[in-house]
Amino acid sequence: MADITMYELPGCPYCAKVRSKLDELELEYDVIEVPRSHGERTEVENVSGQTGVPVIVDEAQGVEGMHESDDIVDYLEETYGESGA
């Protein structure tokens, strides 16, 4: 099991942006697909306090429930990119 878990909805362009950054940095990650209905997204809500996606959890860095694709991409670059590695 990877340290990073990503909650996503297939076809979501913001999720694709985060997944692209994870792949670019060659990071291992697990994916949990959330239901289309916001009312059924209890797992991601428990993790992040909201029902939007994408959301990541990075157990190795103590990050629990980071949301907003731009923030996630910036975090990944700073933490795992050449400047952060």
The CA-to-CA distance between both ends of the chain, in Å, stands at 21
- In order, the DSSP letters of 58-69 are EGGGTEEEEE-H
Note the pLDDT tens digit of each residue in 37-70. Answer: 999 999 999 999 999 999 999 999 999 999 999 9
Quote the distance between the C-alpha of residue 47 and its chain's center. Answer: 11
Asked if the peptide bond before residue 54 counts as cis, ω within 30 degrees of 0, the response is yes
pTM check: above 0.85: yes
